[in-house]
Chain A
Amino acid sequence: MAQGHFILREKEFLDFQAVLKKLLANSFAKVVFLIDKNGSLIASSGETENFDTTSLASLAAGNIAATGGLASLIGEKEFSILFHEGERDNMHISVVANRLILVVIFDRRSSVGLVRLRTRRASVDLERILRDIDAGAAKEEEGDIEELTEADIESLFK
């Protein structure tokens, strides 16, 4: 994963969505996001229209990166869970398989204990999907991107 591209195909994307949907319902959360560690939004579920998802993804990844830096300063490998408590909404952020970031936003309809429990269970499913992605990446190569031409690239700037 450190090199090359992170390629997400339809099946795994739908699998991710299904896990997020289940987590949303089971944890009584408002919204759930799955982000890659570089700050790109992978999938989401819930009341996403109220959020600037792009900014949220980049800041959550920055947050995890910064706390990871803090962790290494005190000799820890990583802080795998962050919790931010607000007046109305709270945010639970956790790292999945050292590669993805799972963000759960919830209010007083839920609790941090419940979110933590459900997130842990969802992480197991997300890890399994990640393994499928890795296995798929080893087997096949998709053609579209490799067929890009100079003219395609130039057309972006017209």
Chain B
Amino acid sequence: MSFINYSLREINCKIVYYGPGLCGKTTNLQYIYRRMNPDSRGKMISLATESERTLFFDFLPLSLGEIRGFKTRFHLYTVPGQVFYDASRRLILRGVDGVVFSADSQLTRMDANVESLENLQGNLREQGYDGDRIPLVMQYNKRDLSQVASVSQLHALLNYRNVPEFEAVATTGVGVFETLKAIIKLILIDLKKGGR
């Protein structure tokens, strides 16, 4: 649920990166953080365990300039991917305006991708969202590794809504900004329509 402040002429939107454990959600945010102009980004917050697995969420605020006289601010969050942190994931989805589903392209992680996508749909439903209408972008990450599924396989397995999809290598930044740009566009188009 975006927050529009007509007095300060600001639009605030919430983007959540979702996906199975170790698929690269935090790495996406770290890359964006490193590459954004310091004037455009705030501090990145990572609530992680000692082993650097996300415990609650990562948070990165971005300001992307003005649109029709409104300052645009995007709040990027990741969820913890590990299966047992479902309560945290549900909390972070509250008020979400758009979701990036980051899939792990490795063949051995296909079951984890499907399980995570089903978990996303269930948790969105629980928060009162229609999982088939919320702005969504698919990112097929880790394309640089061997033993990865083809894009058409990933598409058939995960992208039943036929939303924009991108190949990515979050560690080097391939596809990271393309994914971000796509979800921001979808959110703003949704905002223009007056929300869900």
List residues of chain A with CB under 8 Å of any chain B CB: 1-10, 13-14, 36-40, 42, 52, 54-55, 58-59, 62, 65-66, 68-69, 141-142, 144-148, 152-153, 155-157
Instruction: Tell me whether B67 and A6 are in contact (CB under 8 A).
Output: no
**Assembled-state Cα–Cα distance A21/B1 (Å):** 27
Query: Does B196 reach chain A (CB closer than 8 Å)?
Result: yes
Closest to B185 in A: A153
Contact flag A6-B6 (CB < 8 Å), given A58-B75, A144-B69 = no
Q: Which residues of B contact A (CB under 8 A)?
A: 1-8, 11-12, 14, 42-43, 45, 47, 56-57, 59, 61, 64-65, 67-70, 72-73, 75, 77, 87-88, 90-92, 94-95, 127-128, 181, 184-185, 188-189, 191-196
A–B complex contacts, Cβ < 8 Å, 29 sampled: A5-B1, A8-B6, A8-B7, A36-B95, A38-B94, A39-B59, A40-B12, A54-B61, A55-B59, A58-B45, A59-B59, A62-B57, A65-B94, A66-B91, A69-B91, A142-B6, A145-B11, A145-B70, A146-B192, A147-B68, A148-B191, A148-B192, A152-B68, A153-B67, A153-B188, A155-B65, A156-B64, A156-B67, A156-B184
Knowing A58-B61, A156-B64, the reply to whether A10 touches B91 (Cβ < 8 A) is no
Question: Do B95 and A38 touch (CB < 8 A)?
Answer: yes
Contact (Cβ within 8 A) A152 B67: yes
**A142 CA to B65 CA, complexed, in Å:** 21
Contacts beyond the supplied A55-B43, A144-B70: 4 A-B pairs with Cβ under 8 Å? A13-B8, A145-B11, A146-B193, A156-B65
> How far apart are B185's CB and chain A's nearest CB, in angstroms?
6
Whole-angstrom CA separation of A55 from B127 in the bound complex = 24
A156–B187 Cα distance when bound, in Å, is: 13
Q: How far is the CA of A9 from the CA of B70 in the complex (A)?
A: 13
Chain B: minimal CB distance from A88 (Å)? 21
A6 to chain B, nearest CB (A): 5
Whole-angstrom CA separation of A3 from B189 in the bound complex: 16
Contact of B195 among A5, A38, A59 (CB under 8 A): A5
CB within 8 Å for A55 and B42 given contacts A36-B3, A145-B4, A156-B64: yes
Residues of A near B91 (CB, < 8 A) are 62, 65-66, 68-69
A108 CA to B191 CA, complexed, in Å: 45
Shortest Cβ-Cβ A-B pairs, 8 listed: A38-B95, A13-B7, A65-B91, A10-B7, A4-B195, A40-B12, A148-B192, A40-B3
Closest residue on chain A to residue B8 by CB atoms: A13
**B residues less than 8 Å from A5 (CB atoms):** 1-4, 191, 194-195
Cα A42 to Cα B185 with chains together (Å): 24
